[in-house]
Amino acid sequence: MTITDPISDMLTRLRNAIAVKHTNTKLPYSKLKLAILDILSKEGMIGEVSKVGRGTTKSLEVILKYENGQPVIHEVERISKPSNRVYLKATDIYSPKNRYGFYIISTSKGLMTSKDARKNHLGGEVLLSIW
């Protein structure tokens, strides 16, 4: 079985691991997933991300973060899907959930948060929202 949307699969695996209070989870490796997870790590939503294995058996190991027994990630939602791409101009970018969350946007300068994209006057494809 092939996965048509690997980013949605990654987000589902993260949601499932958080729902059962796992401390870490493993995901299939890709450069895009690693870039997304690096942004989440820099923003303090997850712990460390590390590459495990080599060759065709590479995977990503993600340490999940909890505060007072509650997960730091409350909700994560895929915005732009293979069947429905969503793009925003730099002037239309805003913060979801009354500034508690952020978008991860694929711009011409690489992946960045909605705050960074707005600051750099860059628009692009909105991959996901998280808070």
Buried-exposed string 44-54: b where 16+ CB fall within 10 A, e elsewhere: ebbbebeeeee
3 state DSSP class of 62: strand
Output the pLDDT for position 31. Answer: 95
Give the Cα separation of 22 and 16 in Å (integer): 9
The pLDDT of residue 38 is above 90: yes
What architecture does CATH give domain 76-130? 2-Layer Sandwich (3.30)
What architecture does CATH give domain 6-71? 2-Layer Sandwich (3.30)
Residues of the chain with CATH 3.30.1370.30: 6-71
Give backbone dihedrals phi and psi of 39, rounded to 5 degrees, phi first.
-65, -45
List, for residues 60-105, the tens digit of each pLDDT value. 999 999 999 999 999 999 999 999 999 999 999 887 767 788 999 9
Give me 46's structure tokens. 């997850």
Q: Is 120 within 8 Å of 109 (Cβ atoms)?
A: yes
**What pTM was computed for the model?**
0.91
Give the Cα separation of 53 and 42 in Å (integer): 23
